[in-house]
Structure 1
Amino acid sequence: MYLKFEKQKNILITTLSGELDHNSAEEVRVKIDDRIDRDNIEKVILNFSGVTFMDSSGIGAVLGRYKKLSNKGGMLCIAEPNKNVNRIFELAGLYKLIKNYNTVDEAVRCI
């Protein structure tokens, strides 16, 4: 799993590439939390355009970041999930909590 961070205004955009599974979920948690804490971030967009696979550990990593941001009055959203990842989010019911956007630009405008 490769992570690329970019800041626009007060929003942290995290682009994920590879498989978000039990092998990479802990690393993703630690790196995103570090950036949230270090830069006092309250809004995060997770760009899933490069994620090829996600399992329940990935769901846990996303939910954990959602809870962390919600507890400090912030928000998390996702952008550009492929068909398979989108289906996982739907089946897990995550779209009841987390907004999904077609593009990162759309997410930046809306949050």
Structure 2
Amino acid sequence: MNVDTNIKDNVLFVNLVGELDHHTATFIREEIDRIYQGNRVKHIVFNFEKVGFMDSSGIGLLMGRYRNASIVGGKVVLVRVKPEINKVLNLSGIYKLMNCYANEEEAVANL
């Protein structure tokens, strides 16, 4: 799993590439938290376009980042979610906490 990040206008953009499972979730969590806290951004946008697999560790990763963002009045949103990943996210109930958008522009417009 690779993670590419970018910060723009108080938003941390996280582009995930590969599989998001228990083997990769710890590394990703630490990387995102380091950047999020070090730059004091408010919102996080996760791009799932290049994620081929996700298990419950991915749900935990999202929940933890949601908690961190909520503390500072921020939001976590998801973009470019593939149907197979959407199924996992929908079953988990994550959409009660965060919204999913077609692209980054739409997501930012709704923050």
TM-score with structure 1 length normalisation? Answer: 0.96
Counterpart code for 1:18: G
SS in 2 for 1:41: coil
Code of the aligned partner of 2:7: K
Q: Aligned-pair distance for 1:47?
A: 0.5
Task: Name 2:66's counterpart in structure 1.
Answer: 66
In structure 2, what is the equivalent of residue 15 of structure 1?
Answer: 15
Quote the residue 2:33 is aligned against. Answer: 33
Unaligned runs of 5+ in 2: none
Amino acid at match of 1:75: K
Please show how residues 53-92 of structure 1 align to structure 2 within 5 Å. Answer: 53-92=53-92
| Aligned sequence identity (%) | 36
Q: 2:71 & 2:11 partners in 1: Cα distance? A: 17
d(CA) in 2 for partners of 1:16, 1:90: 19
- RMSD of aligned alpha carbons: 0.8
For 2:73, give the aligned amino acid.
G
Residues in 2 aligned to 1:20 and 1:104: alpha-carbon distance in whole angstroms: 20
Q: Distance in 1 between matches of 2:4 and 2:105?
A: 16
Cα distance between partner residues in 2 of 1:58 and 1:43: 18
Letter in 2 for 1:15: N
Letter in 1 for 2:45: I
**What amino acid does structure 1 have at the position aligned with 2:27?**
E
Secondary structure at the aligned position of 1:13 is classed as strand
Shift of 1:66: 0.4
TM score, norm. by length of structure 2 = 0.96
Structure 1 residues not aligned, in runs of 5+: none
